[in-house]
Structure 1
Amino acid sequence: MGNGERYLARVDGRLLRALSHPLRVRILELLREDGPATASGLAKRVGESSGTTSWHLRQLAEYGLVTDDAERGNRRDRWWKAVHEGDQLRAKDFIDDPDLAGPFSVYAHTLIEQRYAAEAQFVAEMRDWADEWMDKVEFHDSPLSLTPDEAAALSEEVLDVISRYRRRAKEGDTQVRVHWAAFPRKSRPETP
């Protein structure tokens, strides 16, 4: 894993169509974060039937996003694992294409909902975390005045920092979720 080709799936129009279903995005997220699973195990976690999750897993496999976990399972229990650790896409690749603008919107909204759910889950479980984590957790929101080029440079720098910390898990690690977004906002000042 780590840096390089294994880490990111470069999302093109073909992959975007596969990821434009919220349940597929959720299944893929669970496989990426919690490791290999069966269709029935995933079904319990997402509140669907194993037939439904099995069908979506086969769709994800067809697009090269998940594969059989050869180290687990048998003919009766098929285990699946994610092929990549994350996705990389740029809105500009899809937003002007009338056939892809809809799937992009569904995928982007699904990601935002999942980010919110992850942060809300942490806040709900905050008391469960050891004291050693409490002064390390950071929520940050900063409005900045930037040009488009400055915003792109900022994102590049942040992603470089994240890349420096990417490595295989080792004993003593805790999985940490990092969200990054930099986007413009229309100013709506109050008028007299």
Structure 2
Amino acid sequence: MDKIFTRLFLTQLSKTEINLLQSYRCATMTSKEVWRPKVLVTNKETPEKGVNILRQKCDVIFPENVPATRDEIMKLVPGVDGIMWVGHYALNGEVLDAGAPTLKAVSTMSAGMDYVDVAEFKRRNFPLGYTPTVLNEAVADEAVGLMIAAGRRFHEGLLKIENGKWQGGPQWMLGRD
């Protein structure tokens, strides 16, 4: 069942898997209740498009403050089924302990993992999602833009304009082709 929840949190489930998950968790619930995983998203400024995907199948909660303190986040961890860790506070065994026994999966919204105790997640065989290639295109675009700006002397020209030192002329501030 934990594997099914992990797939729900990190991807999407088929209708059969959703029904199986709900029947498993609803055994102790009244007939009018429907179980939905409770997911903590640690920053209210998380893009709405992604949060809405979670809301389709999960009850989503947020810390009150933006940015939330780690203490505020930690107070919300007990009782959640999943966490979307947005930010760079330490993500370690303390978080996993606070989430036990209900916490099933944690996912970050980052390419970097320097704030995550990956060894602890591996030691516990605990599902951890992240987005290793999410910034590839943006970084490539930025690199090309910086090369063009350097070759055409954009920054130097902007400083000349701002300081009233624009001279003009066919060769002045000529960049490179």
**Superposed pair shares fold, TM > 0.5:** no
Q: TM-score range by the shorter chain?
A: under 0.3
Q: Which has the larger radius of gyration?
A: 2
Structure 2 length normalisation: TM-score? 0.26
